[in-house]
Amino acid sequence: MVEIGQVLGSFDKASYFWDSLSMAITPFMILDILIVAVFIYWIYVFLKETRAMRILYGFLFLGILAIIGRVLDLVLLNWILKYLMTMLVVAIPIVFQPELRAVLERLGRAKFLSDLSSLSRSGQTKLINELVTASEVLSDQKIGALIVIQRKTALGEYISSGVSLEAKVSAELLLSIFFPKSPLHDGATIIVGNQIISAGCTLPIGDSLENMGLGTRHKAAVTLSELSDAIIIVISEETGTMSLAIEGRLQRKLDSEELRSQLARHFRSNLKKEK
């Protein structure tokens, strides 16, 4: 009888919880739900560009455990979560401090970045032409460069390490950024869609590449291509050779047509049909 009572009690709690959510649907209620849904989605879109997304999954898991513990009246679990949640309330502002600051900064802009899939065929062709033209000049003059083209994997944490530009991609602007006396020439330039979002960015370098005889730019390009699906163009400062890092592989000593062909092939998988 005790077990049946416990089951009925848990069922009653679940029913009461569900009934408390049931109410007459009104226009204001629908508006309320839409506003909250858009807000949650906006927070998700922003956080998925950062490492904080993994921490958020942990908080969601604890939240689900708390609901289960409350519905099933799990005394020990509820007691642990009660004190754990208290600590998390204090920890959240500390853990998410950089993200919270960035969210507040973005509220004024309310602008979302688009990847290559937002570009039509002609848009991608124009982007490739600008990239190849800049790469040719940089290669001829032996000016080192590191150009990152974002695809599906968001690169928010690397974008935030550089200087925000949000300017349309052009060969002239790329050449200005990588001009040896430019303060941004040593870092990576990150392109999202048809915009240069940030320049002078810091990229990670994997420990496994230390003894491969590669320069710093090439190591950073390979590492990022292992961590994401980004396309990275590298121009060697010593030899002027053009290379392309994709999916952890480095294609070296490419000429202009080979670079154009490779970019077109990899851009094609993200192509949005032109209307």
Tens of pLDDT along 78-88?
888 877 777 77
Inter-axis angle of helices 2-21 and 52-72, to 10 degrees? 120
List pLDDT tens digits, range 141-150: 999 999 999 9
| Contact in structure between 184 and 144 (CB atoms under 8 Å) | no
Q: What is the mean pLDDT of residues 168-178?
A: 94
Q: CA 167 to CA 37: how far, in whole Å?
A: 31
pLDDT in tens, 96-115: 666 565 555 555 444 444 55
Which of 9-18, 60-69, 105-114, 130-139 reaches the highest mean pLDDT?
Answer: 130-139
* Residue 77: pLDDT over 70: yes
- Cα 194 to Cα 170: distance, rounded to the nearest angstrom: 9
User: CATH code for 116-268?
Assistant: 3.40.1700.10
Return the closest-CA partner of residue 245 out of 209, 270, 192: 209
Residues of the chain with CATH 3.40.1700.10: 116-268
pTM of the model: 0.60
